Amino acid sequence: MLKKFLFFAISCFLPLAVFAQESDLLTPETLILDVPTANVLDKYQASFLTRSYANGTIMESLDFGVIPQVNIGVSLAVYELVGSSDDIKVLDPDFQVKWKLFDGSLYLPAIAIGYDGRRYGYNRKTKDYLDDRKGGYITLTRELFTPGLHISLGANLSDFDRHDIYAFTGMSWQLKDYFSFLAEWDNINNVRDSRFNLGANIFISHALTLTGAVRRIGRGSENERVLQLRYVTNF
């Protein structure tokens, strides 16, 4: 059953990536690593994001610019896909949506609202996730202090039943045409449960970006190394 499902998923998504045209536009980052920015894909653009992280998990996220200022997407993760385990598990698919409300001005930041259902750190024994979904959020993004330094901050409501509000902030600093530095402080409600992430982007082309990062820095065995590849296309 699992092999049939994986074959179906690959059969559906691979032709999209193969026949799509490389984007002619430099696309602002819609995510730093986990922190959403106020940027969105343009209409008729799509982003294919493949992320590899703890326990041999691979997550594929597909995001589309369906109408101006609105993006929708879906994500699917396979637990223990990489490695020697014979007992791999397809996790429940998640979805994401973002609406850019304001493009920003000379003095005001860009503003977007959205929902992100992606979760990380699955535990097979407890069937729980180490990181909850971001859920509903509002985010603001602006270039500050120096060219290439974009700062985002916002708040999110992960669980509508608990009504706990979390904050997040992050920065992306493009130092060269082919390199940018990433830093995030995410899931801020109390210091113990917050996450500090560091990473870097290498721009292989204007459409293809390789990202390496470390998540949950300072949390001992919960530290996690992440490698991801993002490809932006036009349709």
Give the domains, in start order, of the chain with CATH numbers.
2-234 (2.40.160.40)
The contacts found for 21-29 with CB under 8 angstroms, 24 or more apart, are 21/233, 21/234, 21/235, 22/205, 22/207, 22/232, 22/233, 22/234, 23/206, 23/207, 23/232, 23/233, 23/234, 24/234, 25/206, 26/206, 27/207, 27/232, 28/150, 29/150, 29/172, 29/201
207 versus 100: the higher-pLDDT residue is 100
Q: Which residues are 95's β-sheet partners?
A: 74
Quick one: pLDDT at residue 100? 97
Region 44-52 average pLDDT: 93
pLDDT higher than threshold 90 for residue 81: no
The confidence band for 177, taking pLDDT boundaries of 50, 70 and 90, is confident
pLDDT higher than threshold 60 for residue 22: no
Tokens of residue 103, six digits: 């493009």
Tokens of residue 75, six digits: 């994500």
Residue 208 near residue 48 (C-beta atoms within 8 A):
no
Quick one: pLDDT at residue 220? 82
The confidence band for 8, taking pLDDT boundaries of 50, 70 and 90, is very low
pLDDT higher than threshold 50 for residue 71: yes
- As a whole number of angstroms, the distance between CA 155 and CA 160 comes to 14
Q: Which residues are 131's β-sheet partners?
A: 120
- As a whole number of angstroms, the distance between CA 37 and CA 25 comes to 18
- Closest-CA residue to 156 (of 129, 194, 109): 194
